[in-house]
Amino acid sequence: MAPVRRKRRKDFDLDLTLRRRFGKCSFRPLQREVITTALDGEDVFLQAATSFGKSLCYQLPAVVDYGITIVISPLLSLMNNQVAALQAAGIEVGCLNSTTSRDVKTELISDLQTGHPHTRLLYVTPEYTTLDYFRRILRTIHMQCELSRIAIDEAHCISEWGHDFRPAFKALSFFKTEFPDVPMICLTATATAEVREDIITVLGLDPRKLKIYTMTTARPNLHYEVRFKTDDQDHYNDFLKWLKAVHNRRRSCPERNAQLTQVNERVDNVCGIIYTLFRKDCESLAARLCGDGIGAKPYHAGLENSQKNDHLAGWVANKQGYDVIVATTAFGMGIDKENVRFVVHWQIPKSFEGFYQEAGRAGRDGKASLCIMYYSREDRDRSIQMLSKDQAKQAANKHGSFHMSEQAMNRAKSLQALIAYCENTGACRHHLICQYFGEEIVPECDYACDWHKDKRALERAKKEGLASEDWCSTQRDSGAYAVDEYE
Ligand SMILES: Nc1ncnc2c1ncn2[C@@H]1O[C@H](COP(=O)(O)OP(=O)(O)OP(=O)(O)O)[C@@H](O)[C@H]1O
């Protein structure tokens, strides 16, 4: 028997809640509209740039509305980061995943089993929602009319057409099948039109009733640069020189020193992330930086949970020795720290979307921040090799090989687009990114990319910095770019 539907309230004081509970002065453009639509009980699809403030669009409704909001989130680091921020704001939030301690889990589950939980937001992985006992609990809460809303963060993970596809995300179709009256809100920064369609179909959302909000992907305060290199060059020195120069500039300015102390930062607390594709690079690069006096810590899926938590917490708290995180993609989507001044890709990432997501960790306070990608044709060829290897593996897998090969094809398209972005010295980087995501109107770039800063220098750097195609093709033929697994 379906529970009686609740009458939705309309008299919320959203501004008061925004100020009191979330400590923000005013809504950003479109946030109020999305929140009001969600509170009206509509299904919502929100696509907006990294750092737009998408989380508030389900967190605020969860605080003012009745019952509990279930938030499905793909990465443990992301989940823990968000839960810690909400707890600090005194919001009743819980999280169930493999890192939750037994005591916390027991307490949380007994709260949920009452059917009238005090918990307003519950973060779970998509895998968790497939567990029978968890589904039973959801049914109990629903019967009590306390299941307020389902929020699907990083919704692009649903689509095999997108990057970061997670099979467990497909199981989320369960929610609309079982609880058709419970509104859903899907959020992502990276979905092409194809991916968007796919998400809607998989989740069983009715496109005629769904409210879709799409905003630009542009991040005008991010300065995008591609730095060209070859295998013969150790780009470590290039990076270190740049970072030390920033430290020195800060040190030589007493006013800047005083400003930094006021906001709990140090001269050498130039907070950043370096992304590498391989776990072993995380460790060795972090150690090398420490040897040169830079506080750096590794972060990858192979570390103990206690170590990962320590590195993340230290970095978030601007602790000395934790200024730079050297990470694999395990530290990607959704991580929110406002003063990240740089994101470096140590080599070309696996996809265009991955690049945009990871670069999007920078400058979340709206201040200028640098995104450097080190690009070599040798790394390009290694990435293509890895992709073909994955494709071959998937084709050998007899289950659903047709779909998997479609997914692999899309990954290949995305990587090719990223290669074209790196090789392009004739257009604005912001323009190229918006173009990839299908946007027609591209915001102005205010000298915030290598092309706008110096077109000639960029062209020259490419000419002098990359290995020739002839050389690469000889190397490819001799099998020089064969690599092991990613991560
Ligand atoms: N109205 C607001 N006023 C001031 N700050 C805000 C507002 N809304 C959100 N923020 C802040 O903006 C930052 C980014 O928000 P959030 O983490 O929700 O981004 P997002 O859109 O989910 O981005 P991503 O896709 O990169 O994860 C957070 O620090 C958040 O507290």
- pLDDT per residue as tens digits for the range 378-410: 999 999 988 888 777 766 665 554 455 677 788
Q: Give residue 227 CA to ligand 1 midpoint distance, Å.
A: 29
The closest residue, in CA terms, to atom 4 on ligand 1 is 24
Q: Give residue 449 CA to ligand 1 midpoint distance, Å.
A: 24
Cα torsion 371, 372, 377, 379: sign = negative
222-231, 234-243, 259-268, 359-368, range with the lowest pLDDT: 259-268
Q: Give residue 344 CA to ligand 1 midpoint distance, Å.
A: 21
What does the alpha-carbon distance between residue 235 and residue 222 come to, in Å, rounded to a whole number?
22
**Looking at residue 5, what is its pLDDT?**
65
Q: Give residue 119 CA to ligand 1 midpoint distance, Å.
A: 22
> Which of 47, 73, 71, 76 is CA-nearest to residue 60?
71
**Looking at residue 399, what is its pLDDT?**
56
Band the pLDDT of 16: cuts 50, 70, 90: very high
The closest residue, in CA terms, to atom 9 on ligand 1 is 53
| pLDDT greater than 80 at residue 483 | no
What does the alpha-carbon distance between residue 421 and residue 433 come to, in Å, rounded to a whole number?
8
Ligand 1 pocket test: which of 56, 79, 82, 221 has the largest number of ligand atoms within 8 Å of its C-beta?
A: 56
The closest residue, in CA terms, to atom 15 on ligand 1 is 53
Name the more confident of 265 and 228: 228
- Give the number of C-alpha atoms closer than 13 A to the C-alpha of residue 153, restricted to the C-beta side: 27
Ligand 1 atom closest to the CA of 48, numbered from 1: 21
Name the 3-class secondary structure at 272: strand
Band the pLDDT of 6: cuts 50, 70, 90: low
What does the alpha-carbon distance between residue 96 and residue 87 come to, in Å, rounded to a whole number?
15
Task: Please state, in angstroms and as integers, the Cα–Cα distance from residue 356 to each residue in 98, 332, 346, 373, following that order.
Answer: 28, 10, 15, 11
**Looking at residue 87, what is its pLDDT?**
93
**Looking at residue 295, what is its pLDDT?**
96
The burial of 415, by beta-carbon neighbours within 10 Å (0-12 exposed, 13-18 middle, 19 or more buried), is given as buried
* Residue carrying the six token digits 């590498």: 276
Q: Give residue 337 CA to ligand 1 midpoint distance, Å.
A: 10
Ligand 1 pocket test: which of 364, 367, 371, 437 has the largest number of ligand atoms within 8 Å of its C-beta?
A: 364
Averaged pLDDT of the chain:
90
**Looking at residue 422, what is its pLDDT?**
98
The string of pLDDT tens digits covering residues 332-366 is 666 789 999 999 999 999 999 999 999 999 999 99
- Give the number of C-alpha atoms closer than 13 A to the C-alpha of residue 213, restricted to the C-beta side: 24
Ligand 1 pocket test: which of 18, 52, 185 has the largest number of ligand atoms within 8 Å of its C-beta?
A: 52
**Looking at residue 390, what is its pLDDT?**
75
Tell me the two tokens of residue 34.
């999305």
| pLDDT greater than 70 at residue 45 | yes
Name the 3-class secondary structure at 363: coil
Band the pLDDT of 61: cuts 50, 70, 90: very high
Band the pLDDT of 461: cuts 50, 70, 90: very high
The burial of 474, by beta-carbon neighbours within 10 Å (0-12 exposed, 13-18 middle, 19 or more buried), is given as exposed
What 376-379 contacts at long range (C-beta under 8 Å, 24+ apart), as own/partner pairs, is 376/228, 376/229, 376/230, 376/231, 376/347, 376/466, 376/467, 377/230, 377/466, 377/467, 377/469, 377/472, 378/230, 378/231, 378/467, 378/472, 378/475, 378/481, 379/347, 379/348
Phi then psi for 367, rounded to 5 degrees? -85, 160
For ligand 1, which residues put their CB under 6 angstroms from it?
24, 27-28, 31, 48, 50-56, 189, 334, 336, 338, 360, 364
Q: Give residue 378 CA to ligand 1 midpoint distance, Å.
A: 37
* Residue carrying the six token digits 């609880």: 179
> Which of 264, 274, 216, 284 is CA-nearest to residue 243?
274
State the complex-level ipTM. 0.98
What does the alpha-carbon distance between residue 91 and residue 81 come to, in Å, rounded to a whole number?
14
Q: Give residue 53 CA to ligand 1 midpoint distance, Å.
A: 3
Query: Stretch 42-58: mean pLDDT, rounded?
Result: 95
Ligand 1 pocket test: which of 14, 17, 55, 331 has the largest number of ligand atoms within 8 Å of its C-beta?
A: 55
The string of pLDDT tens digits covering residues 83-105 is 988 999 999 999 998 888 899 99
State which amino acid sits at residue 58: Y
Ligand 1 atom closest to the CA of 361, numbered from 1: 26
Query: Stretch 264-268: mean pLDDT, rounded?
Result: 83
Name the 3-class secondary structure at 38: helix
The closest residue, in CA terms, to atom 25 on ligand 1 is 50
Highest mean pLDDT: which range of 273-282, 287-296, 436-445: 287-296
The closest residue, in CA terms, to atom 10 on ligand 1 is 53
* Residue carrying the six token digits 């509970």: 21
**Looking at residue 484, what is its pLDDT?**
59
**Looking at residue 387, what is its pLDDT?**
84
Which parts of 390-431 are beta strand (E)?
Answer: none
164: left (phi over 0), alpha (psi -120 to 50) or beta: left
Ligand 1 atom closest to the CA of 82, numbered from 1: 17
**Looking at residue 485, what is its pLDDT?**
58
348, 422 Cβ separation under 8 angstroms: yes
Ligand 1 pocket test: which of 22, 35, 336 has the largest number of ligand atoms within 8 Å of its C-beta?
A: 336
**Looking at residue 477, what is its pLDDT?**
78
State which amino acid sits at residue 306: S
What does the alpha-carbon distance between residue 306 and residue 319 come to, in Å, rounded to a whole number?
17
Contacts of 18 by beta carbon, 8 Å cutoff, 6+ apart = 24, 25, 26, 27, 56, 60
Output Rg (C-alpha) for the chain, integer angstroms: 23
**Looking at residue 332, what is its pLDDT?**
66
Ligand 1 atom closest to the CA of 188, numbered from 1: 25
Name the 3-class secondary structure at 443: coil
Q: How close are the terminal C-alpha atoms of the chain, in Å?
A: 48
**Can you name the residues that pair with 274 across neighbouring β-strands?**
326, 344
Query: Stretch 187-208: mean pLDDT, rounded?
Result: 90
What does the alpha-carbon distance between residue 36 and residue 243 come to, in Å, rounded to a whole number?
44
**Looking at residue 2, what is its pLDDT?**
61
